[in-house]
């Protein structure tokens, strides 16, 4: 069950390449309550993307990571590595630890599929 209880953090300005050209890298950051847990997200190119580290530590804390990895493989869920600006934004909204040097993101649709698949594995809240 996904609750839409969004809070928008703000708009991150487009980043500039080393040659001075502006990349179309605008994205929004915010929070959404999923299964009773407030998760930070980045809205990138119209898609909500959640930090896999926060999903594992907060949403699936009682399920072994190997089990989650197998579920993701079975469901053909791919994560993507976030860039430096996205990582900094996720740190600013406390979705990943400040010591993190990399982070993977999964889409909201993939997160919903993963939650549905893992319902039988976690205790009811």
pLDDT score at 25:
58
pLDDT score at 122:
59
Fold of 28-117: Mlu1-box Binding Protein; DNA-binding Domain (3.10.260)
- Cα 84 to Cα 13, 40, 89, distances in angstroms: 14, 17, 9
pLDDT score at 121:
73
Instruction: Give Cβ neighbours of residue 84 (< 8 Å, ≥ 6 apart).
Output: none
pLDDT score at 17:
39
Per DSSP, 57 falls in state I
pLDDT score at 18:
39
β pairing state of 80-81 and 7-12:
unpaired
* Pairwise CA distance, residues 87 & 96, whole Å: 8
| Sequence ranges of the domains in the chain | 28-117
Q: Are 22 and 12 in contact (CB under 8 A)?
A: no
pTM: 0.76
* Pairwise CA distance, residues 35 & 23, whole Å: 35
Q: Are 110 and 75 in contact (CB under 8 A)?
A: yes
- Reading the chain (125 residues) residue by residue, the pLDDT tens digits are 343 444 444 444 444 333 434 344 567 899 999 989 999 999 998 999 999 999 999 999 999 999 999 999 999 999 999 999 999 999 999 999 999 999 999 999 999 999 999 887 755 54
């Amino acid at each position: 069950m996904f609750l839409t209880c969004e809070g928008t953090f703000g708009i991150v300005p487009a980043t500039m390449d080393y040659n001075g050209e502006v990349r179309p890298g605008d994205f929004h950051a915010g929070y959404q309550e999923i299964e009773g847990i407030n998760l930070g997200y980045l809205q990138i190119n119209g898609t909500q993307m959640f930090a896999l580290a926060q999903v594992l530590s907060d949403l699936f804390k009682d399920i072994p990571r190997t089990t989650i990895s197998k579920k993701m493989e079975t469901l053909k869920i791919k994560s993507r590595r976030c860039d430096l600006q996205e990582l900094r934004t996720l740190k600013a909204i406390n979705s990943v630890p400040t010591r993190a040097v990399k982070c993977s993101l999964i889409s909201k649709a993939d997160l919903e599929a993963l939650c549905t698949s893992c319902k039988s594995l976690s205790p009811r809240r």
